[in-house]
């Protein structure tokens, strides 16, 4: 694909994965339109951390995914849409389930409606491994049952079904990419790996986490971005859902041990009940079967977990002032 000739809309461009995807598409020469949630501070989220020459190449549009007119305005005269925008925090969704549903489900509806009206070449819709819930079998392929174990996961199941319905009902060329857990530079302490690293780096700070035994499948952010690009470039992906993961699982407790070992720090790991999910909501195990991505996209991760962890530690070490490790971020 000649990205230099493409106008791209990215929703959620100010977020963790969105900012990395935006940066990469700018490097490819695409004209990138970044849809960022409106705020009165004119704060563009993690896009603010991009080098100035890249930031100046981006067309930033502020709005809200729940506003269909704002989404349509942002989508006008674009060729490809990457839909990453959503309320992503599971703990936040326990407190504000309505906001999660309205943003994630109605946001997806607004994006698909706009894409249909402007005849998008392809829409890459972002799902999450949380839609699977606790593994019924491993490794987990795209046929694994969907289980709404939190308001967040339920809202993302709804969003995925909206995307699928627009493909089946209207022939909209939409592909659903389903990343398992992503990590890397810029990620906030809402996620467990940055939380562990930040707590480990501050001498008088304790390592305080929630449940330590659940396992997750982690992929470094650069590899996830590569998968997004490959999905958009493929002619086979309309109507498809594809898992993106490393086919490797590790427990939260073992991640903490690995981070402490890399840093040469000796700290005890304690658990805080307020960080636990409700018993029926905890996803005990996620382990990705990425064979479909290998087959259809010729994609597989290039960064090992330890290598990605070292890169993430280096970035957080240089940006520790962005973190509040003593506060539980939801």
Q: Give percent of the chain with pLDDT exceeding 90.
A: 96
Q: Which pTM was predicted?
A: 0.98
| 8 Å CB contact between 217 and 138 | no
Per CATH, the architecture of 184-216+249-286+304-322 is what? Alpha-Beta Complex (3.90)
Cα–Cα distance between 149 and 139 in angstroms, integer?
19
Q: Where are the domains of the chain?
A: 3-182+219-244, 184-216+249-286+304-322
Per CATH, the architecture of 3-182+219-244 is what? 3-Layer(aba) Sandwich (3.40)
Q: CA 29, 227, 157, 187: dihedral to nearest 10 degrees?
A: -80
Average pLDDT value for residue range 119-145: 98
Q: For residue 329, what pLDDT is reported?
A: 85
Length of the chain: 330
| 8 Å CB contact between 124 and 80 | yes
Residue range 239-291, pLDDT digits in tens? 999 999 999 999 999 999 999 999 999 999 999 989 999 989 999 999 999 99
Inter-CA distances, 217 with 36, 39, 89, Å: 28, 33, 18
Lowest pLDDT segment from 14-23, 76-85, 275-284: 275-284
Q: For residue 317, what pLDDT is reported?
A: 98
Q: For residue 68, what pLDDT is reported?
A: 98
Cα–Cα distance between 323 and 164 in angstroms, integer?
38
Reduced 3-state DSSP string for 236-287: CCCCCEEEECCCCCEEHHHHHHHHHHHHCCCCCEEECHHHCCCCCCCCCECC
Residue range 151-206, pLDDT digits in tens? 999 999 999 999 999 999 999 999 999 999 999 999 999 999 999 999 999 988 99
Helices marked H in the chain: 16-28, 52-55, 68-75, 90-95, 97-101, 107-118, 151-170, 192-201, 221-233, 252-263, 291-297, 305-318
Q: For residue 316, what pLDDT is reported?
A: 98
Q: For residue 326, what pLDDT is reported?
A: 81
Q: Which residues are CB-contacts of 264 (< 8 A; sequence separation ≥ 6)?
A: none
Q: Give percent of the chain with pLDDT exceeding 70.
A: 100
Cα–Cα distance between 223 and 308 in angstroms, integer?
10
Helices marked H in 136-272: 151-170, 192-201, 221-233, 252-263
Q: For residue 325, what pLDDT is reported?
A: 82
pLDDT of 214 higher than 90? yes
Token pair for 100: 């999660």
């Amino acid at each position: 694909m000649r990205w230099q000739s493409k106008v791209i809309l990215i929703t959620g461009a100010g977020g963790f994965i969105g900012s990395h995807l935006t940066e990469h598409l700018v490097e490819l020469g695409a004209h990138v339109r970044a849809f960022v949630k409106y705020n009165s501070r004119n704060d563009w989220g993690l896009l603010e951390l991009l080098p100035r020459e890249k930031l100046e190449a981006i067309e930033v549009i502020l709005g809200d995914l729940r506003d269909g007119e704002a989404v349509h305005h942002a989508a006008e005269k674009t060729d490809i849409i990457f839909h990453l925008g959503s309320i992503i925090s599971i703990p936040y969704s326990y407190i504000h389930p309505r906001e999660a549903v309205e943003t994630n489900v109605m946001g997806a509806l607004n994006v698909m409606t706009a894409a249909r009206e402007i005849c998008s070449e392809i829409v890459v819709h972002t799902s999450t491994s949380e839609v699977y819930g606790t593994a019924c079998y491993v490794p987990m392929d795209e046929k694994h049952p969907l289980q709404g174990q939190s308001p967040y996961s339920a809202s993302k199941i709804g969003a995925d079904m909206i995307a699928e319905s627009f493909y089946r009902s209207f022939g909209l060329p939409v592909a659903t990419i389903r990343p398992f857990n992503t990590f890397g530079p810029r990620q906030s302490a809402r996620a467990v790996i940055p939380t562990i690293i930040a707590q480990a780096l501050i001498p008088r700070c304790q390592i305080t986490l929630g449940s330590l035994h659940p396992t997750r499948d982690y992929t470094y952010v650069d590899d996830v971005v590569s998968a997004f690009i490959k999905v958009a470039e493929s002619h086979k992906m309309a109507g498809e859902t594809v898992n993106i993961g490393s086919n490797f699982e590790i427990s939260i407790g073992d991640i903490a041990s690995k981070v402490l070992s890399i840093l040469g720090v000796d700290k005890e790991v304690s658990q805080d009940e307020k960080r636990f999910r409700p018993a029926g909501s905890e996803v005990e195990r996620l382990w990705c079967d990425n064979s479909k991505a290998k087959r259809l996209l010729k994609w597989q991760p290039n960064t090992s977990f330890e290598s990605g962890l070292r890169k993430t530690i280096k970035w957080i070490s240089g940006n520790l002032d962005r973190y509040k490790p003593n506060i539980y971020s939801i």
